[in-house]
């Protein structure tokens, strides 16, 4: 006879409860996540030694053998796009060693059958600067978003975007909130099937592989 198993879940911290949730993942497994970036002996695995609230986090590290500056490792997942096309990414991230990781990046790529709409932010460790990927097909500094982050500590990231009109809305890093409503994201012609792809990426420095932990990731409708 079949048995019913129940796993209790404790909700802690900032929980998006008032809107429709597209994805909520506390990384109890790697189901539906796939590797994106430079090949080789990269690491993309669950890390039970570090977590914000649950039992483990997602750990990624760029390749060690044949290491090169700007190697990347990413966790990629296809997600749903709700009719409003207005989304929030909410997650906790930890940079194990800022001297080894050159940058970390979060991207949304929406293929609507005619265009690709690309919303992305990147944090560069050398200058502690947050940047957005703009309509000029390049990363541009977000005004006043020069924020040193402590290594080995989980930080909160919250990004609001509107893929319907190709604009950013806001970015929150811990207690700091930045108004991005005047900023446009990048789009260009790209025929093909419709899909939305979310990716978290770590970039290697010149001397060492780069690494990143993420936990309690959610994507929901604003």
Say what the pLDDT of residue 18 is. 52
Which tokens belong to 84? 């409003």
CA within 13 Å, CB half, 119: 27
Asked whether residue 177 is assigned to any structural domain, the reply reads yes
Which tokens belong to 135? 């309509």
Backbone angles phi, psi at 184, to 5 degrees: -100, 145
Say what the pLDDT of residue 194 is. 84
Q: b/e map of 121-142 (b: 16 or more CB within 10 Å)? A: bbbbbeeebbbbbbeeeebeeb
Q: Which helix (H) or strand (E) holds 44?
A: strand 43-47
Which tokens belong to 164? 């319907």
Asked whether residue 155 is assigned to any structural domain, the reply reads yes
Beta carbons within 10 angstroms of residue 144's beta carbon = 9
Asked whether residue 41 is assigned to any structural domain, the reply reads yes
Cβ atoms of 179 and 90 within 8 Å: the answer is no
Asked whether residue 11 is assigned to any structural domain, the reply reads no
pLDDT tens-place values along the chain, 222 residues long: 444 444 444 444 445 445 688 888 999 888 889 999 898 999 999 999 999 888 899 999 999 999 999 999 999 999 988 889 999 999 999 999 999 999 999 999 999 999 999 999 999 999 999 999 998 889 999 999 998 999 999 999 999 999 999 999 999 999 999 999 999 999 999 877 788 999 999 999 999 999 999 999 999 987
Q: Look up the CATH number of the domain holding residue 31.
A: 2.60.120.200
Say what the pLDDT of residue 5 is. 45
Asked whether residue 138 is assigned to any structural domain, the reply reads yes
Backbone angles phi, psi at 2, to 5 degrees: -70, 145
Say what the pLDDT of residue 9 is. 46
Say what the pLDDT of residue 215 is. 95
Asked whether residue 44 is assigned to any structural domain, the reply reads yes
The boundaries of the domain holding residue 91 are 23-221
Asked whether residue 17 is assigned to any structural domain, the reply reads no
Asked whether residue 4 is assigned to any structural domain, the reply reads no
Cβ atoms of 60 and 73 within 8 Å: the answer is yes
Counted domains in the chain? 1
């Amino acid at each position: 006879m079949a048995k019913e198993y129940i796993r209790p879940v404790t909700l802690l911290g900032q929980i998006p409860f008032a809107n429709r949730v597209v994805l909520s993942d506390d990384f109890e497994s790697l189901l539906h996540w796939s590797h994106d970036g430079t090949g080789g002996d990269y690491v993309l695995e669950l890390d039970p030694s570090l977590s914000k609230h649950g039992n483990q986090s997602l750990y990624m590290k760029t390749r060690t053998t044949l290491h090169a500056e700007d190697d990347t490792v990413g966790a990629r997942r296809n997600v749903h796009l709700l009719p409003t096309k207005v989304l929030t990414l909410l997650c906790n991230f930890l940079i194990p060693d800022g001297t080894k990781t050159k940058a970390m990046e979060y991207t949304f790529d929406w293929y609507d059958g005619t265009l690709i709409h690309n919303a992305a932010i990147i944090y560069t460790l050398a200058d502690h600067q947050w940047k957005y990927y703009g309509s000029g097909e390049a990363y541009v500094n977000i005004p006043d978003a020069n924020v040193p982050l402590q290594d080995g500590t989980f930080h909160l990231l919250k990004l609001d975007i509107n893929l319907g009109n190709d604009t950013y809305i806001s970015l929150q890093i811990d207690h700091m909130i930045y108004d991005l409503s005047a900023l446009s994201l990048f789009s260009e012609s790209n025929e093909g099937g419709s899909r939305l792809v979310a990716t978290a990426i770590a970039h290697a420095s010149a001397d060492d592989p780069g690494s990143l932990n993420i936990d309690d990731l959610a994507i929901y409708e604003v």
